[in-house]
Structure formats: structure tokens, C-alpha cells
């Protein structure tokens, strides 16, 4: 981790004023701190980054029509999700290899989630083991994000470890049968996995240990890649996994309404509408544009979570109004992590939640039910006019 320069006026000001800045400023500060390869890996999207840009710009196409004189005193924005009550509709998205941003990585982020009582979703490719992450956050629910392995025994081993460590749900990522074309990483010749990040859950797993010499870094990385690149991954694999665990399974990476309907039909407990933050297939629809299409074809009570592009409290209001039951935050909290560790993550999240509460109240809502009834107007932006 790079050290914050005392000569950098922006970083000095952020520390001096309590770090109360926008996500864009956190991003710029993180860029000043991190090495080019690390920052590029966190910030970039795939190919020409069309989808990365769509994700944030999509929110600009919706305008809130606020209600007034609705009495928004004593607000309560808690939610019910997977038979649990959470204090807000925000969750920490699974982000792997966080030690490229800060030496405490996922441990700091998980502790920050615990301080808000909101769920932390730990990635399969975390820098610390799932057990270490769960131990770091005993104060809020931990969910485990699973990257499917070609060896079912390895997938099952990961799931059983998550159960034993007290994780309360599984998030299975379904849009990574192969890695997206990451041009910025190629340009920077940067692979955090090759540098030793993101392998903690593998080298600590007994099934994986039986396959490779865990002291041989190249062999370890090659086997991880062999496991997580799986073009044959399909619904039958997921159906088998469902028979192997009592944990609720949420599918992350759903954009097509037909896939959402299939998830309901097969008895999964929820979906996350996501295009992987624009890091997989470029040129696809923004997650926000896909959200209402999916909400319209699944039962009202079926949990639909939203991921990709959230930067503002107003974004949260819009996503909830378009049918999300909760939203996931990804890159922004990693920028906070890079700048100021656990405290930086806390400030990014507290700013976002405070802005959400103010925005919801000004829109005329004092609870989630009312936020979901917020009226939005949609218009198409004219690129020629900027």
C-alpha cells in the first residue's frame, strides 16, 4: 500500500476535513495513492468500457417526481430480506483481491460492514480466507460469493466451509464462465492473481491442496484459473448445488428476464441484477435498464437485488423505485479502502446512506415501501449535447 503524501493537497484536505467527499473525489484520491496496475484493475471495465459508462449514466435518464407534505418524520428504511431484517437497503458487493488497495483488504471492509449492521459479501478470490473474514465481522451477516469450480468437490468444499464459518447465504456468480476482455489490465501487464492476491480461499482448502503443491505459486495460479474458467457451467450444476446446502442461494449476474424466470422456477431464493460492473461482456444493457424488465416477470415477493453503477443516494432511490429490494455497493467502498482503510470504507458508506435518507425524505418517503412507490420520469439523453 502506498503512503498518503503530505504534499498532496487533496489527500491532506480529505484527512483534515473528515473525508466527507463524493465518490468521484474518493476515486481521484485512490488513483493518486495506488500504483497504475492496481488502480486500473479496480476502476476499469472490459473492452471499450461502454457498459461501464452506461451503468452510471443510466441513472441520469431517470428523474424523480417528489411528493410533498407527506410527513417524513421518524424515517425507518430497514428491509426484510431472506427472512432477516437489515437496517438499510445497502449491501457490500463481493469484490476480490482487496489487498491490492490496502494491506487490511477484506478484513477492513468486513469490519466496516459490521459497524453498520449490513451484510458483507465475501468473494471467493479474497485476499484473506473466508474464515478470517467472518471472524473480522461478527456484528452483521456475512454472505459468501461462490465462483463455480470445474471440480464439483472443490465447489462443495467451499460451500461447506462457508456453512461452518457461519455464513448466512450463498451468492453464486453466473456471468463469469470466462473472463471479460480486460484491455486496461492487458495494457498494464497486470494480474493480481499472479502477484499472489486472491488465492487465500484456495490454498487453505483441503480439496485444492490435494491437487497442487501450494508452495509453487505458478502451479497454484494455473490451477485456480483451470477451476474458475468453466464454459460448460449450466443450470443443472446449480440445481445440484441446491441439493447440497441448506443456505439460501442468490444468483448474481442476471440481466435477461427469461433467466430471472428460470431462477424462480428452479426454486432459488433471489437474484442480483448485475452486469459485473461492466467488467465482463461489454456492450450489454446497463443493470438499471434491465431491472424493471426483470421485476415485471417475477413474483412481487421474490427478492431482486441490484448491482452496478451506484454512486449516489439518489441512485439508491431510483433503483428501489424501479423494483430493487436492496442495492449493492462495489468500487466506491474500495476507493475508500485505498485512501483510509477501514475508516475510509466507513466514510464512503455513511455518506451514501446519509444522502439516501435525505433524498428519500425529500422525495416524500419515510420507509422502503414509500421509496418503492416513488414516481420516476425517463428521458433519453442527447449525446450531441453532452
Annotated binding site for FMN: 94-96, 123, 145, 173, 252, 274, 307-311, 330-331
Residues annotated catalytic, as ranges: 276
In angstroms, the CA 222 to CA 239 distance is 28
Q: Which long-range contacts (CB under 8 A, 24 or more apart) does 160-165 make?
A: 160/245, 161/130, 161/131, 161/201, 161/205, 162/130, 162/247, 163/245, 163/246, 163/247, 165/130, 165/131, 165/134
25 φ, ψ (degrees, to nearest 5): -70, -35
Cα–Cα distances in angstroms (integers) from residue 44 to residues 52, 143, 180, 271, 276, in the given order: 8, 25, 11, 24, 12
CA dihedral 98, 103, 107, 110 (to 10 degrees): -50
In the three-class reduction of DSSP (H, G, I as helix; E, B as strand; rest coil), residue 26 is classed as helix
Instruction: List binding-site positions.
Output: 41, 94-96, 123, 145, 147, 173, 182, 252, 274, 276, 279, 307-311, 330-331
In angstroms, the CA 128 to CA 107 distance is 7
User: For 282, how many CA atoms within 13 A lie in the half-sphere containing its CB?
Assistant: 13
Cα–Cα distances in angstroms (integers) from residue 32 to residues 7, 11, 53, 159, 206, in the given order: 12, 9, 22, 38, 40
Is 335 within 8 Å of 23 (Cβ atoms)? yes
In the three-class reduction of DSSP (H, G, I as helix; E, B as strand; rest coil), residue 30 is classed as helix
Residues listed for the chain: 386
In the three-class reduction of DSSP (H, G, I as helix; E, B as strand; rest coil), residue 199 is classed as coil
Amino acid at each position: 500500500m502506498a503512503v498518503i503524501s503530505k504534499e498532496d493537497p487533496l489527500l491532506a484536505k480529505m484527512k483534515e476535513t473528515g473525508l466527507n467527499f463524493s465518490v468521484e473525489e474518493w476515486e481521484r484520491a485512490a488513483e493518486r495513492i495506488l500504483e497504475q496496475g492496481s488502480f486500473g484493475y479496480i476502476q476499469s471495465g472490459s473492452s471499450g468500457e461502454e457498459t461501464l459508462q452506461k451503468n452510471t449514466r443510466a441513472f441520469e435518464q431517470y428523474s424523480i417526481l417528489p411528493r410533498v407534505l407527506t410527513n417524513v418524520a421518524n424515517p425507518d428504511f430497514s428491509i426484510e430480506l431472506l427472512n432477516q431484517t437489515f437496517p438499510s437497503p445497502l449491501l457490500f458487493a463481493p469484490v476480490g483481491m482487496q489487498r491490492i488497495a490496502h494491506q487490511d483488504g477484506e478484513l477492513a471492509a468486513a469490519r466496516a460492514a459490521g459497524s453498520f449492521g449490513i451484510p458483507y459479501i465475501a468473494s471467493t478470490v479474497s485476499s484473506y480466507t473466508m474464515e478470517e473474514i467472518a471472524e473480522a465481522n461478527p456484528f452483521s451477516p456475512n454472505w459468501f460469493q461462490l465462483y463455480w469450480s470445474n471440480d464439483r468437490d472443490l465447489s462443495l468444499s467451499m460451500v461447506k466451509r462457508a456453512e461452518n464459518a457461519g455464513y448466512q447465504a450463498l451468492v453464486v456468480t453466473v456471468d463469469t464462465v470466462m473472463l471479460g476482455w480486460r484491455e486496461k489490465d492487458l495494457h498494464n501487464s497486470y494480474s493480481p492473481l499472479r502477484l499472489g492476491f486472491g488465492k487465500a480461499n484456495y490454498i487453505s482448502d483441503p480439496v485444492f491442496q490435494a491437487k497442487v503443491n501450494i508452495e509453487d505459486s505458478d502451479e497454484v495460479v494455473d490451477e485456480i484459473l483451470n477451476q474458475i474458467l468453466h464454459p460448460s457451467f449450466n443450470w443443472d450444476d446449480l440445481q445440484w448445488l441446491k441439493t447440497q446446502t441448506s443456505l439460501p442461494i442468490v444468483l448474481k449476474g442476471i440481466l435477461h428476464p427469461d433467466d430471472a424466470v428460470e431462477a424462480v422456477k428452479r426454486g432459488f431464493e433471489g437474484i442480483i441484477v448485475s452486469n459485473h460492473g461492466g467488467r465482463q461482456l461489454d456492450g450489454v444493457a446497463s443493470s438499471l435498464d434491465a431491472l424493471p424488465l426483470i421485476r415485471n416477470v417475477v413474483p412481487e415477493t421474490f427478492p431482486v437485488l441490484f448491482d452496478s453503477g451506484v454512486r449516489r443516494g439518489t441512485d439508491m432511490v431510483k433503483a428501489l423505485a424501479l423494483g430493487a429490494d436492496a442495492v449493492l455497493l462495489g468500487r466506491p467502498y474500495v476507493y475508500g479502502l485505498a485512501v483510509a482503510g477501514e475508516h475510509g470504507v466507513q466514510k464512503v458508506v455513511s455518506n451514501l446512506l446519509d444522502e439516501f435518507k435525505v433524498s428519500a425524505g425529500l422525495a416524500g418517503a419515510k420507509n422502503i415501501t414509500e421509496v418503492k412507490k416513488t414516481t420516476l420520469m425517463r428521458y433519453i439523453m442527447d449525446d450531441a449535447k453532452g
